[in-house]
Amino acid sequence: MKMHGDPLVSDYSRDVLEIRQVVENWAVWRDSGAWEKFASVWHDDGYMSATWFQGSARDFIDASRQGFANGVRVSHFLGGTAVEVTGTRAVSQTKMTITQRVDLEGVEVDVVCTGRFYDFMERRNGVWAIVRRQPIYEQDRLQAVDPSASVELDQTLLAKFPVGYRYLAYVQTANGMQVAQGEAELPGLVGAAVERLYDEGRAWLSGSISAGVPVAPQSM
């Protein structure tokens, strides 16, 4: 939503609108498999962290494309966005829900995780794009698509994952994905990981060299 030249809109408001459009484009283009457009929401050095992936945006696009081709279906729904802009840098937080439909022990289930996308943004050559995206996982749940069906979970495996993305991690692990845990635990609603992320966001707005220290890629 390019609005440069509209004298009734402040520079700050234009920045916020353009950042919000980047966030919305991310969800629509990723979920619909529009991979060339999806690549445009990232800067070349972009970095993505998720339960199942930690690495460059380029590798994330490739992994997402492969999963989509193999029938992996994930839907992202967005809520409100709060944006802080300082010069050519910004931090945006967007309420979101991730829904993934999978087969779990022969039962079709939906796992639903609610949280926030925490994005380190930068305007380069007049274009806002993502430098780093770190989801914050607040709460999740698991339910059978058929209300009459039921599935028994391995409580020992379930307990390995933190509240916030416990059920999401469970079904991803059951389907062969390697999920961040232990020292690589991802931010939740409260705790050391999310406080560190907030500190990194403040530092980014104050001119830090990098967009914090993302979770390192998981060894396979």
Read off the amino acid at residue 22. V
Is residue 56 within a helix (H) or strand (E), and if so which, with residue range? strand 54-56
DSSP lists the bridge partners of residue 137 as 115, 188
Query: Distance between alpha carbon 166 and the CA centroid of its chain, in Å?
Result: 16
Task: Provide the b/e sequence for 18-39 (b: ≥16 CB within 10 Å).
Answer: bbbebbbebbebbbeeeeeebe
Q: What is the pLDDT of residues 58-74, one digit of tens each?
A: 999 999 999 999 988 89
Average pLDDT of the chain is 91
Q: What is the pLDDT of residues 139-173, one digit of tens each?
A: 999 999 998 998 899 999 999 999 999 999 999 99
pTM strictly above 0.85: yes
Contacts of 169 (CB under 8 A, 6+ apart): 51, 160, 161, 179, 180, 181
For residue 19, pLDDT beyond 50: yes
Contacts of 122 (CB under 8 A, 6+ apart): 43, 88, 89, 90, 128, 129, 131
Please, which pLDDT band fits residue 1 given cuts at 50, 70 and 90?
A: very low
What pLDDT is attached to residue 2? Answer: 46
Domains and CATH numbers, the chain: 11-205 (3.10.450.50)
